[in-house]
């Protein structure tokens, strides 16, 4: 299948309109590798992982899946969450020294000598931001990474990297139920030609055809009855399957290069690809969707 590809911001990376969020593949090797091979065979070329997922196991599985196919893949991983031996969980570390050492471990697990897109996995205003940027710039000069970006939902952190670094992308949560980036993050990126990687497009499964069963837990401060009203409004606004509407919505913004969706089965993977392969939402559909689901706003980290 020929999935449409978009340039990632001002980089020369061409990424499939839908990328694979690899966190969902599990830890069983045969199943995970088979699923990733199927994704690549179906035209997905953007794989997103992190050294954090399953304590590095996810990177190992992605590495096994891309063996012999490295040149077909735009490989993205993330850094910043450091495990302390003998301690539960992890600590945040955006220092230059840590990034320069962590990348070696990621390369080893991924079985490659370069990363296409290396992303800071979070970030705060208390970080040594100039040192963080210098670490990425050094890795770029050395050819260890091709480009770098940041994964963040904090507009004030995004603003620092947009103005001070040469990031090519920002990964942020964006869906019909989470329209916050439209007001703050997307305009920042547009002004500098930076691409957005939209994660969480189905809002924890609420925007799928079976999502009605999950509404009781609420989402981003919305309660069950609000979400139920939104869903029925979306169904009236667009005569498409819910998954299709959900995955096409972020791609209506020219700033969004790729929408990220996870899958833990072949059926899910194929459903995601079919949905994103549909025609773009029309202006009338977009207008109708936006009239039934309000644009929420960032209240923190402004």
- Give 53's pLDDT tier (boundaries 50, 70, 90): low
Average pLDDT of the chain to the nearest whole number? 93
CA separation for the pair 263, 272 (Å, rounded): 8
Give me the residue spans of the domains in the chain.
Answer: 5-204+244-281
Question: Looking at the predicted structure, is the pLDDT value of residue 2 above 90?
Answer: no
Query: Higher pLDDT residue, 22 or 227?
Result: 227
Are 229 and 274 within 8 A, CB to CB?
no
pLDDT tens digits, 264-292: 899 999 999 999 999 999 999 999 999 99
Q: How confident is the model at residue 132 (pLDDT cuts 50, 70, 90)?
A: very high
Question: So which residues are the catalytic ones?
Answer: 53
Residue from 201, 195, 197 nearest 272 by CA: 201
Question: What pLDDT, in 10s, does the model give residues 67-103?
Answer: 999 999 999 999 987 777 777 777 888 999 999 999 9
DSSP 55: G
DSSP state of 216: G
| Selected residue with higher pLDDT from 212 and 149 | 149
Helices (H), 111-223: 129-141, 155-164, 180-183, 185-192
CATH topology of domain 5-204+244-281: TIM Barrel (3.20.20)
The residue among 206 and 50 whose pLDDT is bigger is 206
pTM above 0.85, yes or no: yes
Q: If 0-12 CB within 10 Å is exposed, 13-18 middle and 19+ buried, where does residue 23 land?
A: middle
Query: Per DSSP, what are the bridge partners of residue 286?
Result: none
How far is 8 from 169, CA to CA, in rounded Å?
7
The pLDDT value given to residue 56 = 66
pLDDT at 256: 98
Question: 173: pLDDT confidence band, cut at 50, 70 and 90?
Answer: very high
Closest of 190, 186, 147, 155 to residue 11, by C-alpha: 147
């Amino acid at each position: 299948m020929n999935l449409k590809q978009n340039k990632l911001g001002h980089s020369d990376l061409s990424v499939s309109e839908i990328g694979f969020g690899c966190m969902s593949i599990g830890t069983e090797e045969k199943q995970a590798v088979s699923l990733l091979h199927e994704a690549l065979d179906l035209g997905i070329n953007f794989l997103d992982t992190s050294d954090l997922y399953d304590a590095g196991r996810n990177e190992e599985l992605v590495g096994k899946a891309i063996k012999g196919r490295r040149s077909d893949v735009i490989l993205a991983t993330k850094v910043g969450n450091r495990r302390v031996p003998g301690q539960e969980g992890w600590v945040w570390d955006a220092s230059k020294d840590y990034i320069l050492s962590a990348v070696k471990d990621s390369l080893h697990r991924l079985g490659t000598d370069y990363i296409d897109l290396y992303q800071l996995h979070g970030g705060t205003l208390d970080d040594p931001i100039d040192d963080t940027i210098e670490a990425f710039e050094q890795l770029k000069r050395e050819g260890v990474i091709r480009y770098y970006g940041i994964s963040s939902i904090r507009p004030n952190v995004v603003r620092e990297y947009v103005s001070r670094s040469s990031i090519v992308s920002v990964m942020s949560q964006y869906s019909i139920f989470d329209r916050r980036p439209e007001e703050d993050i997307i305009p920042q990126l547009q002004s500098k030609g930076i691409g957005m990687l939209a994660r969480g497009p189905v809002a924890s499964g609420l925007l799928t055809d079976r999502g009605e069963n999950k509404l009781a837990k609420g989402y981003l401060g919305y309660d069950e009855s609000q979400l139920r009203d939104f869903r029925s409004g979306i169904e009236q606004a667009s005569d498409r399957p819910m998954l299709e509407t959900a995955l096409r919505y972020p791609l209506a913004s020219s700033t969004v290069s790729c929408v990220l969706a996870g899958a833990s089965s072949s059926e899910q993977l194929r459903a995601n690809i079919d949905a994103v392969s549909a025609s773009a939402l029309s202006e009338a559909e977009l207008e109708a969707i936006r009239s039934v689901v309000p644009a929420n706003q960032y209240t923190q980290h402004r």
